[in-house]
Structure 1
Amino acid sequence: MSVIRNAELVPAPARRSFATRFSNVSRWRVPLSILALCILPWVLPSQALAVNVLIYGLVAVGYNLLFGYTGLLSFGHAAFFGAGAYATGIAIGAFGIHWFIAMLIGVLVSGLLATVMGVLAIRTRGIYFSMVTLALAQLVYYAALQASSWTGGENGLRGFTVSTLHLPGFSVNFLDPLVKYYAIMIVVAAALWFVSRVLNSPFGAVIEAIRENETRARACGYDVERTKLLSFILSGILCGLAGTLSAMHLSIVPLDSLHYHTSGLIVMMTLLGGAGSFFGPFIGALAFLSMEDIFSLWTSNWQLIVGVIFILFVLYLPKGIWGTLIAWGKSR
């Protein structure tokens, strides 16, 4: 028995073998993703770029859980990224709290903020949901701008540095770029494992069902609003975790980390890599940050070039770079 594809006769067993092989690779997506991230600093032109890919890739992973898997388009995820960064920086700089506890505080603050914003936004649908998240994120931005005694206002938060990670029995030099990369990668790897577990759980199946047909999911008896709220909170927590890593990496927290421009970058990275794909967010972050590095050397108007490329991707590669490769692999 055979099937006709691209004017060729492809034996059905061969078709099944391609599908089986792809399925086997998908089962190992976490270790394969970690392996790819392990070699990243050795193939990129700078280790600083590799660290940024890790951090912004994690932000896009968090956003992808909401947009790519749940189907909710948010324009306010910069609020969670910035809140995690500010909370961590304030905890370290103003109160001298241990870096690990400060990270937990940053994640907790982001989770609480995501809960409040989610409760208010989940009641709306479609473009109204997107606009509500944008408006709420801007409220957070202007609150940080006004609280200059805590946040530094327009100058951002400064005055804290994490030079050494003190761990039980040994210390890690966080100023060494390569050591910093792998220290951050451990946190990112744990986050990837967590996301994979979420997607493989019944909850993961429900959010994908909501993405495909919310009305049918509700008719099947699922609590759609509660599920979307939980997805929103988990997404905010992951973005907040990325914010804590950014604060420790840069030792500053710019006010722009809360701006809607950052939310737009997160959306672009997710779409460039492939919304709804597991490793796509890192591919999108790598693509965007690489284009920024290259085109900014040529012209100060590099955003125009990146914008044109992004439009071409939306028109001709709507599944993104990684999403298109996955679709190609599944079709073989």
Structure 2
Amino acid sequence: MTVAQNTTPASDGTARPSIQTSNFSRWRVPLSILALCVLPWILPSQALAVNVLIYGLVAVGYNLLFGYTGLLSFGHAAFFGVGAYVTGIAIGAFGMHWFVAMVTGVLAAGVLAIVMGALAIRTRGIYFSMVTLALSQLVYYTALQASSWTGGENGLRGFTVSTLNFAGLSVDFLNPITKYYAIMVVVALALWFVSRVLNSPFGAVIEAIRENETRARACGYNVERAKLLSFVLSGLLCGLAGTLSAMHLSIVPLDSLHYHTSGLIVMMTLLGGAGSFFGPFVGALAFLSMEDIFSLWTSHWQIIVGIIFILFVLYLPKGIWGTFVSWRAGR
């Protein structure tokens, strides 16, 4: 079993989490929500702030699998895209209520995660990564061929959510600020859920698997079942982000299922700091801000971002937020 990063020796000689780390863990959800509340007022556009919310949530889901369980997946675009596509189809083709469509999209991503996870966890290391990549591309080409449902290369169009009606309340979803805070409510609930998962015994088990899978197995934990559950929870969170993206854009581009999107998710997680709670949002903010700025300078902005990413991997492997947390813990 792993212990918190900042520990103090107890009277029996074992390491226990320090008061500082315990307090930070207790307040990490409200502090994260507070930081997100001010985001649309400090960024140059509300659209960028909404994208940070959505892609930050995708990275949070991926971070649960990679940062906390230690499994490197290259196929998480499948869950993001399937959540978006199913939500768009449910609204546009079947006229479902937006909430029912969101639930349907998340469940579809969860079912896909069960299937992909059951196949992928049979492998380890780079083989796990390649299996997830192959399965994700299979989903991509399935969507490409099912053009009567997905729109093929043109993506899914023909649906719009202009008003959110729920429990007697009506929210104007076309207003940028209103849209941001409506999405933030969903993101806040997801963060609370992730925090509860990490603070549970299951959270300790997946961290033990990350640190030493063989030792965790020797301690009697069902490693395969824990990895599968972590994979499914990760897929559900990414699917939830996909449903929010579909409602935000009113279109679902085919590229949302492509391995390029999976790569972006990995980059955002690493830039912010894998294994840190708020790091995914910092990584999403950093990547999207660089894209927004450098794309105005040159059409080859990916080269600049790629160089910066390499420098981070070499000299700042804990990411922006992860390095900051380590620095604070070491003071």
Would you say same fold, with TM above 0.5? yes
Q: Secondary structure of 2:170's match?
A: strand
Deviations 1:141-196 (A, max 9, x none): 00000000000000000000000001222210000000000000000000000000
2:135 aligned partner: 136
1:236 aligned partner: 235
Equivalent AA in structure 2 for residue 58 of structure 1: L
Structure 1 residue 27: deviation in Å?
Answer: 1.5
Q: Secondary structure of 2:164's match?
A: strand
Deviations 1:96-151 (A, max 9, x none): 00000000000000000000000000000000000000000000000000000000
Equivalent AA in structure 2 for residue 259 of structure 1: H
1:273 aligns with 2:308: no
Deviations 1:1-57 (A, max 9, x none): xxxxxxxxxxxxxxxxxx634542232000000000000000100000000000000
5 Å-filtered alignment, 1:1-332, equals 20-332=19-331
Counterpart CA distance in 1 for 2:316 and 2:260 is 23
Question: Does the CA contact (< 8 Å) of 1:22 and 1:329 recur in 2?
Answer: no
Question: Does the CA contact (< 8 Å) of 1:61 and 1:281 recur in 2?
Answer: yes
Question: Does the CA contact (< 8 Å) of 1:161 and 1:251 recur in 2?
Answer: yes
Counterpart CA distance in 1 for 2:25 and 2:320 is 17
Q: How many residues align?
A: 314
* Further displaced range: 160-169 or 46-55: 160-169
Counterpart CA distance in 2 for 1:99 and 1:143 is 25
Deviations 1:232-287 (A, max 9, x none): 00000000000000000000000000000000000000000000000000000000
Q: Secondary structure of 2:251's match?
A: coil
Deviations 1:176-229 (A, max 9, x none): 000000000000000000000000000000000000000000000000000000
Q: Where does the alignment leave 5 or more consecutive residues of structure 1 unmatched?
A: 1-18
Counterpart CA distance in 1 for 2:28 and 2:121 is 31
Q: Where does the alignment leave 5 or more consecutive residues of structure 2 unmatched?
A: 1-17
1:4 aligned partner: none
Deviations 1:307-329 (A, max 9, x none): 00000000000000000001101
Question: Does the CA contact (< 8 Å) of 1:64 and 1:270 recur in 2?
Answer: yes
Q: Secondary structure of 1:29's match?
A: helix
Counterpart CA distance in 2 for 1:270 and 1:279 is 10
Alpha-carbon RMSD: 0.7
Q: Secondary structure of 2:136's match?
A: helix
Counterpart CA distance in 2 for 1:168 and 1:232 is 32
1:8 aligned partner: none
Counterpart CA distance in 1 for 2:22 and 2:187 is 24
Equivalent AA in structure 1 for residue 174 of structure 2: L
Percentage identity across aligned positions?
86
1:15 aligned partner: none
Counterpart CA distance in 1 for 2:21 and 2:302 is 36
Question: Does the CA contact (< 8 Å) of 1:91 and 1:102 recur in 2?
Answer: yes
Question: Does the CA contact (< 8 Å) of 1:162 and 1:251 recur in 2?
Answer: yes
Equivalent AA in structure 2 for residue 295 of structure 1: F
Equivalent AA in structure 1 for residue 297 of structure 2: W
Counterpart CA distance in 2 for 1:330 and 1:27 is 15
TM-score (norm 2): 0.94
Counterpart CA distance in 2 for 1:124 and 1:154 is 32
Question: Does the CA contact (< 8 Å) of 1:274 and 1:284 recur in 2?
Answer: yes
Counterpart CA distance in 2 for 1:68 and 1:286 is 18
Equivalent AA in structure 2 for residue 129 of structure 1: F
Counterpart CA distance in 2 for 1:120 and 1:236 is 14
Structure 1 residue 293: deviation in Å?
Answer: 0.1
Moved over 3 A (4+): 19-23
TM-score (norm 1): 0.94
Q: Secondary structure of 1:80's match?
A: helix
Counterpart CA distance in 1 for 2:69 and 2:184 is 26
1:3 aligned partner: none
Q: Secondary structure of 1:28's match?
A: helix
Q: Secondary structure of 2:131's match?
A: helix
Q: Secondary structure of 1:165's match?
A: strand
Deviations 1:61-87 (A, max 9, x none): 000000000000000000000000000
